[in-house]
Amino acid sequence: MPRVLVPKVRFNLNQVENGEGYVLAIFRYSKGVLRFNPGAKVEVKYWDAKAQRARYTPKHPEYPHVNQLLNEVDSVITRIYWETNGGLPVEDFRKETFFRLGRIEKPKEEKITTLTAFANLYVEERKNSIGAKRGIKVVLNTVAGHLSNFSQTERFNMEFERIDHNFFKRFKNWMYSPPREFSANYANKVFAVVRQLMAEAKRRKLHSNEDYKDFTVKKEEVTHIALDWLELKTLYDLDLSANTRLERVRDIFLIGCYTGLRYSDFSRIKPENFIEVEGEKMLEITTQKKSERVTIPFQPELTYLLTKYDFNPPKISGQKLNEYLKELGELAGMTEKILVITNKAGNKVESLVEKYKLITTHVARRSFATNLFLLGVPAINIMKITGHTTEKMFMGYIRVDGRKNAQLMSKEIAQKRKERQEQDKKQDQPDKDQEKK
């Protein structure tokens, strides 16, 4: 969990009269300044301005209790700031502080009875949660929006006990209907979030319904491409000296192909990400999606591309990069037609599409994983870079068709048989030597 720097809570004497003043708590942060009197008075001559606490004196045996109160105020303010990442407006911060100090009674919250209300609450909680990944927040917010729109357009009662198989059928049909026409795989992801929300609400004892556990949509195989070594070399050798825009696009894309990083990561590469271990150049970066540190060895092409930009490659938005990549692919002659299988409104759709139209930033990552696997690099080693946690997930990610898989197996079998034959020869040799004697 990332460290949160909390501003210091200060205590000053205020409204001094007859040598005695009220203690004023002051907390400055990005949303403004929180000021209030914790309810303590201290004589000026017994106030330690440096420590911002009362000095002990037999004359005022209550001062240790004053300091205890100030310590509590400091702790409460610090905790609220840490929990909310400093996102509360000043008045909300004041109310929460007073609630926790027991100065005002916190109004009783109405019990949440609907999935939509809980989804919106959970989204807000995650927004203020320290360390929560941006991608997760976006997904939760999107699904909460779908649930709300479904409830309104279909006039469906979203009370927890109504989230049953009838809801599952109607919500799925709603996602497949125009103008949405979501794919089966997208619907699968949405229902995964619905299950997460229902499980969390059940954990908080908001309902006892368990029908949600069966909300699954079968994932469909769709077409994803990867570029092989020859296609990468074609891009690498392409003379783009007359088109610096596409030259930068090509170079950024190839950096992704030779590192296996997501666009969100290879677009953040900086000089400080490069290290050298026992003479070997490597790239080390913390991934944005999973906050995992990965270390990637240099390939010759990667060394050239990064040196070309002084290890600080150009930056292009993901949207523009995807647009320009198709222009680049067409220029490189990647015009062969590929049978593409997609899913629209829950139905399988087949079409013939020129290969260059399928090139996106994510193709770089798939190409990296697929090419290394076909070279014979163990899956476990590649997974340390791609971040896949199981070999099953990894095998579903790489683009190896039946023919390539058979070729790979053929080479592997030939190699294993050769090793076995050499081993058998070594075992037979002592017996032959013995016979000669």
For 310-353, write each residue's pLDDT tens digit.
989 999 999 999 999 999 999 999 999 999 999 999 999 999 99
| Cβ contacts of 29 within 8 Å, gap of 6 or more | 7, 81, 86
Tallying the residues shown for the chain, one arrives at 437
Q: Which residues make Cβ contacts (< 8 Å) with residue 298, sequence separation at least 6?
A: 280, 281, 282, 283
Please give the average per-residue pLDDT across 273-280, as a whole number: 89
Place of tokens 């709300």: 148
Q: Does residue 64 contact residue 56 with C-beta atoms inside 8 Å?
A: yes
pLDDT at 295: 94
In this structure, are residues 256 and 364 in contact, taking their beta carbons and an 8 Å threshold?
yes
Residue 325: exposed, middle, or buried by beta-carbon count in 10 A (0-12, 13-18, 19+)?
buried
Q: pLDDT-based confidence at 115, cuts 50/70/90?
A: very high
Closest alpha carbon to 353 in 384, 331, 330, 369: 330
Strand, coil or helix: 329: helix
Q: pTM of whole model > 0.75? A: no
205's tokens: 């004892």
Question: Residue 299 has which token pair?
Answer: 């390939």
Lowest mean pLDDT, pick from 105-119, 357-371, 373-387 = 105-119
The backbone torsions φ and ψ at residue 144, rounded to the nearest 5 degrees and listed phi first, read -60, -40
pLDDT at 406 over 60: yes
Given a cut of 70, is residue 263 above it in pLDDT? Answer: yes
Backbone angles phi, psi at 91, to 5 degrees: -65, -35
Give the confidence band of 1 by pLDDT, cuts at 50, 70, 90.
very low
Q: What is the pLDDT of residue 255?
A: 96
Say whether pLDDT at 397 is over 90: no
Spatial CB neighbours of 329, under 8 Å, sequence gap ≥ 6: 355, 356, 357, 359
Q: What residues are paired with 152 via a beta bridge?
A: none
Region 203-228: mean pLDDT is 93
Q: Give the pLDDT confidence score for residue 414 in this predicted structure.
A: 82
- Three-state SS annotation for 29-40: ECCEEEEECCCC
Q: Would you place residue 160 in the very low, low, confident or very high pLDDT band (cuts 50, 70, 90)? A: very high
What confidence tens digit (pLDDT) does each residue in 23-71 have? 999 999 999 999 999 989 999 999 999 999 999 888 888 899 999 999 9
Q: How far apart are CA 238 and CA 301, in angstroms?
A: 13
